[in-house]
Amino acid sequence: MARPTKVEICEVGPRDGLQAEKYFVPTDDKIRLINKLINAGMPKIEFSSFVSPRAVPQLADVEEVLVGLDRTKGCTLAALVPNAKGATRAVAAGVDEIIVFMSASESHNMKNVNRTVDESLAGFEEVARIADDAGIPVHGAIATALGCPFEGDVPVTQLEYIARHYRDFGFIGVGFGDTTGMATPPVVQRAVRHIQDVIPELPITLHFHNTRGIGLVNVLVGLDEGVSHYDASFGGMGGCPFAPKATGNICTEDLVYMLHEMGIETGIDLLKMVGVAHDVEQVMGRELPGQVMKAGPRLQLHELEEVATAAG
């Protein structure tokens, strides 16, 4: 499979990043950061989720956030939805895209949304109807798709089972979420090849967490398999509050940097993206894991006087 020459990044920081925080980030800060992402050329943003505000209080302001966002630049504003109630709220708020989510493994699905896999799927049939009536596309994400912290390896046949339902519901794509960073190159390759083989008409999005330091390596594997959709988070924030040891997503600026160096287009302005990450860092009040935001792009050179000369 040829590597794509263009990749679509979906920024998930406002959702995956902020849901994992102890404190509620003020609505105005969320709006400013998301509008900066739009201004940096981000093609798609998962800006929040329509879940129970009791389960995830950090994102309880989803409706207010959407009202403040710049809709003039063609950025797709997508939100995460677990059930029909979430879909009804998302349609009423006027999102551009709904992203439903469930886990591949029964135990994490129970922890995260209090449903069995089949119960989640049954609910998505109703989500599909609600979205269809409103003319809103639905993308189907699968959490713990590349490994579950409670059950271990996830059979590719389980991904196929869920993805076939997604295809039958008319969803526009399937996402493999590596919720706790358990993916490795062979795991990614096996899962992607299997779904491309059995359901070739359903585009795949890869959603990696850098929990074990090989997130961008997994992206390279995805690229080699022809996958052109990736999720990433500003500054490398992120993590599921209902999974043990969940840490940040792959970092958006680091991903953009790598792709541009490889001659792969994203439509995103790297330096503006680095600026967003610094703003996020200010809001969070702590250092974020992103690396290009610290070192700068490799050809951003330095004055000789900036460092001392070694004297022996």
Residues 6+ apart with CB under 8 A from 102: 82, 109, 113, 115, 117, 120, 121, 124, 141, 142, 143, 162
For ligand COA, the binding residues in 30-49 under the rule CB under 6 A are: 49
With CB under 6 A as the contact rule, the residue among 51, 79, 142, 162 that binds ligand COA is 51
Q: State the minimum distance, in angstroms, from the CB of residue 179 to Zn ion.
A: 6
State both tokens at 237.
């924030």
- Residue 83 binds which one of ligand COA, Zn ion, none, with CB within 5 to 8 A depending on kind? ligand COA
Cα gap 183→148, rounded to integer Å: 10
Return the CA Rg of the chain: 19
Q: Measured at the alpha carbon of residue 179, what is the angle toward residues 122 and 164, in degrees to the nearest 5?
A: 35
The interface partner of residue 113, options being ligand COA, Zn ion, none and the CB cut-off 5 to 8 Å by kind, is: ligand COA
Please say which residue, 85 or 260, places its beta carbon nearer to ligand COA: 85
Q: By CB under 6 A, which span of 28-36, 64-72, 107-115, 274-282 interacts with ligand COA? A: 107-115
Spatial distance between the Cα atoms of 297 and 253, rounded to a whole number of angstroms: 10
Structure tokens at 115: 């449903």
Contact between 25 and 56 under an 8 Å Cβ cutoff? The reply is: no
- Interface residue with ligand COA among 12, 34, 142, 143 (CB under 6 A) is 143
Per-residue contact flags (x/-) with ligand COA for residues 72 to 91, judged by CB under 6 A: ----------xx-xx--x--
Based on the residue annotation, tell me whether 240 is a catalytic residue of this protein: yes
- Provide DSSP, 218-270: HHHHHHHTT--EEEEBGGG----TTSTT--PBPBHHHHHHHHHHTT-B----H
Alpha-carbon separation of residue 95 from 50, 127, 254 (angstroms): 11, 14, 28
Residue 247 in contact with ligand COA, rule: CB under 6 A: no
Tokens of residue 264, six digits: 């792969």
Q: Point out the catalytic residue in the list 10, 75, 148, 240.
A: 240
Compare residues 208 and 242 and give the one whose CB is closer to ligand COA. Answer: 242
Among 100, 216, 240, 277, binds ligand COA (CB under 6 A): 240
Q: Which amino acid is at 186?
A: P
Contact partner at residue 52 from Zn ion, ligand COA, none, CB < 5 to 8 Å by partner kind: ligand COA
Window 5 to 64, contacts with Zn ion (CB under 5 A): 16
Give the catalytic positions in this structure: 240
What is the binding site for Zn ion (CB under 5 A)?
Answer: 16
What is the binding site for ligand COA (CB under 6 A)?
Answer: 19, 49-52, 55-56, 82-83, 85-86, 89, 101, 112-114, 143, 240, 242
